[in-house]
């Protein structure tokens, strides 16, 4: 098996490995990092289980799920995670998401990560539509998606039960033809 690696100017997005546990757990156990997510903060057992699932997904052929580490190419540090997940295979629809360590917020790493993932999805796995779910209040992620050409398609009311309460979800998406006709630049 060859490991997946997607390179950008500053980042490498690559398959997660067992030795990534400490780095993954650093961001996955942080309540501020996970406050808008449907999971976390993780226990050590939850992080280990996540890494096992990510490695199992990487072995499947055809591959439908991509759970990747975000690596700073200068330091070699794993600074976050991201993914593309097949949701409706016949429709070639994928869900994307990402999270980063707090010390990497505000440095355009989120934009660079999502842009690379979406580009990979449309070029390499022939996605037709890629969408992201954002919690209301997570303005930084909403701005990233809008800047990259995603459109707000809907506001789902109280659709996710997370941490013992119902939460709304904003649904953003971009189609392959939109991405190809107006590829985003990182400003």
In tens, the pLDDT along 108-139 reads 999 999 999 999 999 999 999 999 999 999 99
Length of the chain: 187
- For residues 145 and 44, the answer to whether their CB atoms sit within 8 Å is no
Residue 186 lies in a domain: no
At 2 the pLDDT is: 53
At 63 the pLDDT is: 92
Residue 19 lies in a domain: yes
Name the stretches of the chain with pLDDT < 70: 1-2, 185-187
- For residues 115 and 84, the answer to whether their CB atoms sit within 8 Å is no
At 1 the pLDDT is: 42
Looking up residue 130, the CATH number of its domain turns out to be 3.40.630.30
- pTM higher than the cut 0.75: yes
- Provide the residue range defining the domain that includes 60: 5-181
Residue 187 lies in a domain: no
| Count of domains for the chain | 1
- For residues 44 and 90, the answer to whether their CB atoms sit within 8 Å is no
């Amino acid at each position: 098996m060859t490991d997946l690696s997607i390179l950008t100017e500053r980042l490498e997005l690559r398959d997660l490995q067992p030795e990534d546990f400490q780095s993954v757990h650093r961001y996955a156990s942080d309540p501020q990092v996970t406050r808008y997510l449907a999971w976390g903060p993780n226990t050590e057992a939850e992080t280990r289980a996540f890494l096992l699932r990510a490695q199992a997904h990487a072995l499947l052929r055809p591959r439908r799920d991509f759970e990747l580490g975000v690596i700073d190419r200068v330091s070699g540090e794993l600074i976050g995670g991201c993914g593309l997940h097949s949701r409706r295979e016949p429709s070639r629809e994928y869900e994307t998401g990402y999270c980063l360590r707090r010390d990497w917020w505000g440095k355009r790493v989120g934009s660079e990560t999502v842009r690379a993932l979406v580009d990979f999805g449309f070029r390499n796995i022939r996605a037709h539509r890629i969408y992201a779910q954002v919690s209301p209040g997570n303005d930084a992620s909403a701005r990233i998606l809008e800047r990259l050409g995603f459109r707000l398609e809907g506001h789902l009311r109280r659709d996710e039960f997370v941490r013992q309460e119902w939460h709304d979800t904003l649904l953003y998406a971009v189609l392959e033809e939109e991405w190809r006709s107006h590829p985003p630049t990182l400003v």
